[in-house]
């Protein structure tokens, strides 16, 4: 599958760089031609001689080498490849990539390339979990860069958690997948509908009922699904957020409008209902601003129940999406309430989170969620909402992959 494919391998620093030597040989065994750039930090762990010997080509290290620039040049080096593979991709390398820095040969080649890029992160567990790294990863994925790993396990430093570089066999499999289909886009050909944000239910022309939802988690999920190749329709209540890349956005205000837009977007393969839809609306909205009574008595407001968008999708008789995911924002007995909600609504998964005031989750940048399915509950580590979105998008892609294999 990789016969005559040209791969530019950029080797970053870190103890995981030793895996790059095996990676070179395994890529060659699959028929690929491998040319390597070794960063200054990477050269602290593997030598240019070892890289050159295994790749059977010159090992490029210096942006300002007169000989290298005369013979090859960083522009040609970056563009004569079919794929640029960064393994290991350190936190520093990914930060430079995310923000367009180019102060050495590796980052200059990455900025100058017009070819697909795949990164294989490897770093300490705390570095991987850091908000800055997760923000950078979100930017890279939004730019269409494919990501392999990282894996969880024991680090060279002795700590345990996510951050280990993926096994060489898994990297090879990801490279093969790239050349057999769209780069890192396992949801290609699928349509996802995502709801996000609050709804505004009018009381009169100047007042409305709403909630504290910022829409950040729903927008992040829409972007993560699009990054994996899905065609995404984002049905959004009022927010101040920019539309994620490659996402079609439909703006609504009330719950009834959100349901109408969702139904109009069908058919869909995936539905992720993240929006904090108001449970009630005012029955008989006042056409004029409600004025204070001279007596000081508060006005009497009668409520009516809003449509249940998640239940409607989950129980749709003809156009139910293959996978329906709901969110349960609770303030007490979170797992119990969320589990009953999944059963009551009929959705496949519920993502439960505690949005009580002290958590700071509603409207904040982080989330702590538990995925509840028919198989049980799985709590995820607290993370940036973009990281949660990527994890959910990956789980959705895995679900469809297993479904295809079983069919």
The tens digit of pLDDT for each residue in 345-361 reads 999 999 998 877 566 66
The stretch 4-15 carries a mean pLDDT of 90
Domain(s) labelled CATH 3.40.50.1950 in the chain stretch across 6-180
Residue 109 has pLDDT above 70, yes or no: yes
Are the beta carbons of 146 and 183 closer than 8 angstroms?
A: yes
Q: What is the pLDDT of residue 358?
A: 67
Percent of the chain with pLDDT over 70: 93
Residue 193: pLDDT band with limits 50, 70, 90: very high
3-state SS class at 149: coil
Q: Does the annotation place 176 within a ligand binding site? A: no
The tokens for 148 are 């392999």
Cα 141 → chain centroid: 7
Domain(s) labelled CATH 3.40.50.10300 in the chain stretch across 191-406
pLDDT tens track for 75-90 = 778 788 889 999 899 9
Q: What is the pLDDT of residue 399?
A: 92
Contacts of 11 (CB under 8 A, 6+ apart): 17, 20, 36, 37, 38, 39, 42, 46, 51, 87, 88
Residue with tokens 């990164």: 119
Count CB neighbours of 301 within 10 A.
15
Q: Does the annotation place 267 within a ligand binding site? A: no
Structurally, what CATH architecture does the domain formed by 191-406 represent?
Answer: 3-Layer(aba) Sandwich (3.40)
Q: Which of 36, 157, 273, 347 is catalytic?
A: 157
pLDDT tens track for 272-300 = 999 999 999 988 777 788 888 877 788 88
For residue 241, with 0-12 CB atoms within 10 Å meaning exposed, 13-18 middle and 19 or more buried, which class applies?
A: middle
pLDDT tens track for 214-245 = 999 999 999 989 988 899 999 999 999 999 98
* CA 128, 133, 139, 143 torsion-angle sign: negative
Q: What is the pLDDT of residue 286?
A: 75
pLDDT tens track for 15-27 = 899 999 999 999 9
The stretch 26-47 carries a mean pLDDT of 91
Q: Does the annotation place 308 within a ligand binding site? A: yes
Q: Does the annotation place 29 within a ligand binding site? A: no
Q: What is the pLDDT of residue 354?
A: 83
For the ranges 8-22, 29-43, 184-198, 278-292, which has the lowest average pLDDT?
Answer: 278-292
Residue 157 annotated among the catalytic residues of the structure = yes
For the ranges 162-166, 180-184, 292-296, which has the lowest average pLDDT?
Answer: 180-184
The stretch 239-260 carries a mean pLDDT of 94
Q: What is the pLDDT of residue 27?
A: 93
Residue 73 has pLDDT above 80, yes or no: no
Q: Does the annotation place 327 within a ligand binding site? A: yes
Residue 305: pLDDT band with limits 50, 70, 90: very high
Phi, psi (rounded to 5 degrees) for 119: -115, 145
6-180: CATH topology is Rossmann fold (3.40.50)
Distance, CA of 175 to CA of 229 (rounded, Å): 16
Q: Average pLDDT over the chain, rounded to whole?
A: 87
For residue 251, with 0-12 CB atoms within 10 Å meaning exposed, 13-18 middle and 19 or more buried, which class applies?
A: middle
Residue 74: pLDDT band with limits 50, 70, 90: low
For the ranges 91-100, 159-168, 194-203, which has the lowest average pLDDT?
Answer: 159-168
Count CB neighbours of 97 within 10 A.
24
Highest mean pLDDT (candidates 202-211, 229-238, 380-389): 229-238
* Alpha-helix runs per DSSP H in 90-167: 91-98, 105-112, 125-129, 131-142
Percent of the chain with pLDDT over 90: 45
Q: Does the annotation place 392 within a ligand binding site? A: no
């Amino acid at each position: 599958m990789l016969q005559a494919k040209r791969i530019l391998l950029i080797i970053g620093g870190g103890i995981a760089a030793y895996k790059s030597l095996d990676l070179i040989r395994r890529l060659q065994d699959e028929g690929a031609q491998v040319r390597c750039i070794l960063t200054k930090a990477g050269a602290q762990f593997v030598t240019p001689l070892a890289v050159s010997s295994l790749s059977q080509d010159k090992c490029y290290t210096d942006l300002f080498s007169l000989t290298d620039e005369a013979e090859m040049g960083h522009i040609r080096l970056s563009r004569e490849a079919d794929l640029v593979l960064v393994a290991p991709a350190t936190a520093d390398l990914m930060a430079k990539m995310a923000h367009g820095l180019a102060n050495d040969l590796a980052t200059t080649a990455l900025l100058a390339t017009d070819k697909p890029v795949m990164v294989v992160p490897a770093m300490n567990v705390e570095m991987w979990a850091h908000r800055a790294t997760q923000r950078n990863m979100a930017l890279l994925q939004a730019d269409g860069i494919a990501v392999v790993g990282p894996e969880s396990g024991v680090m060279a430093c002795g700590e345990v958690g996510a951050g280990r570089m993926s096994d060489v066999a898994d990297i090879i499999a990801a490279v093969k997948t790239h050349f057999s289909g769209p780069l890192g886009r396992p949801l290609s050909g699928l349509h996802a509908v995502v709801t996000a944000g609050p709804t505004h239910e009018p009381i009169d022309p100047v007042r409305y009922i709403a909630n504290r939802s910022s829409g950040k988690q729903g927008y992040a999920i829409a972007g993560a699904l699009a990054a994996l190749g899905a065609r995404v329709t984002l049905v959004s209540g009022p927010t101040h957020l920019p539309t994620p890349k490659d996402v079609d956005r439909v703006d609504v205000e009330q719950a009834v409008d959100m349901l109408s837009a969702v139904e109009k977007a069908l058919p869909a393969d995936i539905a992720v209902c993240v929006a904090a839809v108001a449970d009630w609306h005012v029955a008989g909205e006042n056409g004029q601003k409600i004025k204070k009574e001279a007596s000081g008595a508060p006005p009497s407001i009668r409520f009516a129940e809003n449509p249940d968008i998640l239940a409607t999708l989950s129980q749709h008789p003809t156009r139910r999406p293959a996978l329906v995911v709901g969110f349960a924002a609770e303030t007490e007995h979170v797992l119990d309430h969320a589990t009953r909600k999944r059963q009551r609504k009929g959705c496949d998964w519920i993502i439960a989170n505690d949005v009580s005031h002290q958590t700071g989750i509603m409207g904040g940048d982080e989330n702590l969620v538990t995925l509840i399915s028919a198989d049980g509950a799985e709590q995820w580590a607290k993370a940036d909402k973009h990281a949660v979105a990527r994890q959910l998008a990956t789980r959705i892609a895995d679900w469809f992959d297993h479904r295809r294999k079983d069919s």
